[in-house]
Amino acid sequence: MASGRAFGVYVHVPFCQVRCGYCDFNTYAPGETEGATREGYVEAALREVAFARTAMADDNRPVSTVFFGGGTPTMLDPSALTRLLESIRDAWGLAADAEVTTEANPDSVSRESLAALASAGFTRVSFGMQSAVPHVLATLERTHNPENVARAVEWARAAGLAVSLDLIYGTPGESLSDWQASLDAAIALAPDHVSAYALVIEPGTKMGAQLRRGEIAPTDPDTQADMYEAADEALTAAGFAWYEVSNWARTSDQACRHNLAYWRGDDWWGVGPGAHSYLGPRGSKPAERWWNVKLPRAYAERIAAGLSPEAEREALSPEQVALEEVMLRVRLAEGLPVAVLGDSGRAAISGLVTDGLLDGDAASRGAVTLTRRGRLLADAVVRALT
């Protein structure tokens, strides 16, 4: 059995209207999918859900959280997203309080589509706002106008959906005042949840090529740190509380439970091309992680042939599981129990408190909790604890 761990399902929808210059995800704009269609994707994903249920025949946990990510899941019709959710409900059942989220671009939804998703059982929508400043959106190659965000939030509210806004900071050419304007605009929309991520320019992206050619300049790391501190100050003043390094919610009930499951080491099955899955230790079975083939056409062909879409799999040793627990749970405001650390990790705590990276009061209560400065240097804290 799964020792009380929650079970979630992630559904990767690999379609976008336009590939943004910074995007390193497994997504495809029109013309990039080598003959794979949205309709074919849906049929393949439905078959993978059935395959997953067979593979987990001895596991009767209901699904606690479902997260449709991408890509832009709302490029699929609401009826297609509804079919996928219903297949998950039919396979495992949904917990009575299940959280069901879809990501969406502000220009990929309508009042009617959001109402249809809410009627189907979706409870939450996460909009890719990224910025409220036109020149920053242009650098990121985002297609929506800033005004579209407010309209999309209004429609989601009318449908009864909880609302999260995703922001990106540190875009080349973005000033601290630009970032503050985006924070102010996001807060003015009164969302339930805000995520703010530092832009990382990956080598294989269009923006990575622009950086190599000298067409853009990277944002100074100290400026990105100032932007993070500005976000924490503004969101805290507006009534949000951080619960993970890059995430803030108005109340603990409005934290993203699906993402919390990742950080807490719960189990999930990833459906779709390139999706990752994880099952922790079950009796004599070790923890396992696996991931599907990335290309939508290859994914659909494997499913159609009755084969697993899995590309690779790895079994994790108890030592690896313990290391990952430290790496992930230290990012949470609830803290990492001191008891899970080894001798060297426990010995490092006092020095980290002295350096202002860990909360001393929390440490005295047996929890490893990052200070704001510690959040900025979370990787260094993990190295010291492991």
Per-residue pLDDT, averaged over 324-348, amounts to 95
Contact 337, 385 (CB under 8 A): no
| Whole-angstrom distance, CA of residue 249 vs CA of residue 376 | 19
Contact 155, 214 (CB under 8 A): no
Condensed to tens digits (0 to 9), the pLDDT of residues 36-95 reads: 788 999 999 999 999 999 999 999 999 999 999 988 999 999 999 999 999 999 999 999
Which residues on adjacent β-strands are paired with residue 127? 104, 165
Condensed to tens digits (0 to 9), the pLDDT of residues 118-132 reads: 999 999 999 999 999
Percent of the chain whose predicted confidence (pLDDT) is above 70:
97
Per-residue confidence (pLDDT) for residue 327, from 0 to 100: 94
Answer yes or no: is pLDDT of 340 > 50.
yes
Q: Which of 16-20, 142-146, 162-166, 358-362 has the lowest mean pLDDT?
A: 16-20
**Strands 124-130, 336-337: parallel, antiparallel or unpaired by DSSP?**
unpaired
Per-residue confidence (pLDDT) for residue 193, from 0 to 100: 98
Per-residue confidence (pLDDT) for residue 145, from 0 to 100: 81
Per-residue pLDDT, averaged over 308-328, amounts to 95
Mean pLDDT, the chain, integer: 94
User: What CATH topology corresponds to 7-262?
Assistant: TIM Barrel (3.20.20)
Which residues on adjacent β-strands are paired with residue 125? 102, 163
Per-residue confidence (pLDDT) for residue 2, from 0 to 100: 58
Per-residue confidence (pLDDT) for residue 1, from 0 to 100: 47
Condensed to tens digits (0 to 9), the pLDDT of residues 221-266 reads: 999 999 999 999 999 999 999 999 999 999 999 999 999 999 999 9
Answer yes or no: is pLDDT of 354 > 60.
yes
Domain regions of the chain by residue span: 7-262, 321-385
Contact 50, 71 (CB under 8 A): no
**Strands 94-104, 124-130: parallel, antiparallel or unpaired by DSSP?**
parallel
Residue pointed to by tokens 């006092």:
350
Q: Which structure tokens are listed for 342? A: 């080894």
Answer yes or no: is pLDDT of 112 > 70.
yes
Answer yes or no: is pLDDT of 29 > 50.
yes
